[in-house]
């Protein structure tokens, strides 16, 4: 639920005042109001901490007593997925600490770390990260061949190395 999608969401008073809720435009507005209410209910019921409840409380307004789901998502993204220069440095540091043991595990670790930040890493940067890890000669050749090609995807590369690892076990 984004602000642009929810821009026509009626207030509690406007929702109650819609006379015909079975045809448009009333139907669309009622659906938006119900979707917002449902999302706010889910967020509140599934909360894992008081911080989540406090964040949801900040989105409540007189016209939206249950809160606004898009405001919650926006606030949570700002709080939990940093995207400034220090966050970029922290992301690089965490990625550098990852160790390569199994290709599939390494790929999952990289995806997991990147998901915690609102910073985009190119596939070429991620492949170069793999290249920096101490790999056997055969894996290093695959990485170099991959870098010389046109498509640089960490997923493809880790899948290829993973297949070799499974064969050599």
Q: What is the pLDDT of residues 103-130, one digit of tens each?
A: 999 999 999 999 888 889 998 899 989 9
Q: Which of 37, 57, 80 is the last residue in one of the domains?
A: 80
Percent of the chain with pLDDT over 70: 96
The yes-or-no verdict on residue 78 having pLDDT over 80 is no
pTM of the predicted protein model: 0.60
**100 belongs to a structural domain:** yes
Q: Sorting pLDDT into bands at 50, 70 and 90, what band is 1?
A: low
**7 belongs to a structural domain:** no
**33 belongs to a structural domain:** yes
Do 92 and 72 belong together in one domain? no
Greater model confidence, 88 or 64? 88
Greater model confidence, 82 or 100? 100
**74 belongs to a structural domain:** yes
**What does the pLDDT average to over 132-146?**
82
Q: Which of 40, 64, 80 is the last residue in one of the domains?
A: 80
Q: Sorting pLDDT into bands at 50, 70 and 90, what band is 98?
A: very high
Do 104 and 125 belong together in one domain? yes
Q: Sorting pLDDT into bands at 50, 70 and 90, what band is 2?
A: low
**5 belongs to a structural domain:** no
Greater model confidence, 12 or 102? 102
Do 90 and 156 belong together in one domain? yes
**6 belongs to a structural domain:** no
Among 95-109, 114-128, 129-143, 144-158, name the most confident range: 95-109
- Domain limits for position 100: 85-167
Q: Which of 27, 51, 80 is the last residue in one of the domains?
A: 80
Percent of the chain with pLDDT over 90: 19
Q: What's the domain count of the chain?
A: 2
**What does the pLDDT average to over 9-30?**
79
**20 belongs to a structural domain:** yes
Q: Sorting pLDDT into bands at 50, 70 and 90, what band is 138?
A: confident
> How does the average pLDDT of the chain come out, rounded?
83
* Token pair listed for 146: 């991959």
Do 59 and 101 belong together in one domain? no
């Amino acid at each position: 639920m984004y602000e642009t999608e929810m821009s026509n969401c009626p207030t509690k008073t406007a929702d109650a005042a819609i006379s015909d809720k079975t045809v448009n435009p009333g139907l669309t507005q009622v659906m938006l109001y119900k979707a917002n209410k449902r999302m706010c209910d889910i967020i509140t019921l599934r909360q894992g901490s008081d911080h989540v409840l406090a964040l949801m409380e900040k989105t409540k307004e007189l016209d939206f007593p249950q809160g606004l789901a898009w405001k919650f998502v926006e606030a949570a993204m700002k709080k939990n997925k940093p995207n400034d220069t220090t966050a970029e440095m922290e992301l690089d540091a965490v990625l550098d600490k990852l160790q390569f043991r199994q290709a599939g595990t390494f790929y999952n670790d990289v995806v997991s770390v990147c998901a915690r930040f609102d910073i985009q890493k190119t596939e070429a940067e991620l492949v170069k990260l793999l290249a920096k890890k101490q790999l056997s000669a055969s894996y290093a050749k695959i990485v170099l061949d991959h870098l010389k090609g046109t498509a640089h995807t960490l997923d493809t590369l880790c899948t290829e190395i993973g297949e070799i690892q499974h064969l050599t076990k």
